[in-house]
Every structure is written in structure tokens, then in C-alpha cells.
A and B are shown apart, each in its own frame.
Chain A
Amino acid sequence: SAVISQKPSRDICQRGTSLTIQCQVDSQVTMMFWYRQQPGQSLTLIATANQGSEATYESGFVIDKFPISRPNLTFSTLTVSNMSPEDSSIYLCSVEGRAGELFFGEGSRLTVL
């Protein structure tokens, strides 16, 4: 299984600001995935990040709000822009394993005041 590290682990932010979450994997992977878990809810896929191309966003998520970078095969960032309290969530990075499963980072808990 892959070891996935996310930073920050948690943060408290002010409305209108932006925060960038980093995801580092201990092996090279083709695709990385960003999920959001709103309080008391299940996980929802935000976007898929491929190295060398633009991220593919799911319905309801746009690049202006959630810009993603994927500069190499072991690293990705997700930025939550112009934050509002509704963006308070856990954001999780994940990568695919050899047998089709996804492995997840420990998540970044974001609270927007």
C-alpha cells in the first residue's frame, strides 16, 4: 500500500481567504484523487489529477474554486479559494493501488469562520 502524507492536518481559516493542501505519496502514481467529506457526510470526489495535464473535475466542482496542481508523479496540491463556512470539511487525497483499491491520506480538516 502507498504511504500518503497530507499537510496541513487541520487549519482554521477566515472567510474570503484561500488555503492550499499538499499531498505527498511515497511512490510514483499516475492519478491522484481529491475528495471532500462535509461534516457528518460521506466522501465526494472533487477531481482527478493527472501529471502533465489539467485536472478533471466532477459535477458541482470548478477549477476557479478548487485549483489543483500536479507537478510530478508523487505530489499534488488542492487549493480551496475564497473560502466560506460551507467549505468547512475534511479534504482527502487518494491514490490507486495495484488491485483497483484506493488508498487515502489522513485528511486535512478545514474550518472556515
Chain B
Amino acid sequence: AQTVTQSQPEMSVQEAETVTLSCTYDTSENNYYLFWYKQPPSRQMILVIRQEAYKQQNATENRFSVNFQKAAKSFSLKISDSQLGDTAMYFCAFMTIQGAQKLVFGQGTRLTINP
């Protein structure tokens, strides 16, 4: 079974700083997807970024980028020029490509951006 681990329950940075959230996972699969989701206090789960395991290039979406290390099974999220609106719970998630489209989530990291 796949597992996803986020070792940082909480993080806090000043506005405009760069912050990196850690995520590791365990799987025997070779092809899969990895995601970062954001859950602000409104509780809506919002997709931040997606990475396909077969792609070596790290995914980037504006201020958000990932450092995907397949051999190490690591998938960290970097937020550059952080903004107050980035304050939220961040969940790392894994999905196998074959079979059911089931997301396995990490425990989450509560990120606070301070003014």
C-alpha cells in the first residue's frame, strides 16, 4: 500500500519569503501522479500543482514549484514570494496511474504567512 508522509505539521514564514514544504512517499509503482493541494479556511481543496512520475522535469505553476526526486521518493513544494493568501493547510497526495483513481493524502502541513 502507498503511504504519504509530511513531517512538518506546522510552518510559519514572513510575507515575501520563500518556504519549502516536505513530502515523502512509499510505493512499489513506477508510474504515478503526485499532487499538492491547498485547503484554506474555507475548506475547499484546491489543486496547486501536479507531477507525473515519468517526467524528469520538475513542475512549475507561477510561484509554486516542486523538487521531485523519484529515487528518494521525495516531492517537496516551494512557494516563492509568499503571500498572505497562501495561508492554508497543504496536503501532498499520491495517485497510482493504473487501477482506481484513489488519492492517498499525507497528514498535511499548516502554513501561516505572517505580514
Contacts and interface: CB of A to CB of B under 8 A. Distances in A.
Contacts of B107: 41-42
Interface stretch (B13-21, B44-52, B71-79): B44-52
Interface residues of B, number: 22
Contacts, number: 57
Query: Is chain A's interface secondary structure helix, strand, loop, or mixed overall?
Result: strand
A100 B50 contact: yes
28 contacts: A1-B47, A31-B101, A33-B102, A42-B91, A42-B108, A43-B45, A43-B91, A45-B102, A45-B103, A48-B100, A48-B101, A56-B100, A58-B102, A94-B45, A99-B50, A100-B50, A100-B52, A100-B95, A100-B101, A101-B47, A102-B95, A102-B103, A103-B47, A104-B37, A104-B46, A106-B42, A107-B44, A107-B45
Interface of B: 33, 35, 37, 42-47, 50, 52, 91, 95, 97, 100-103, 105-108
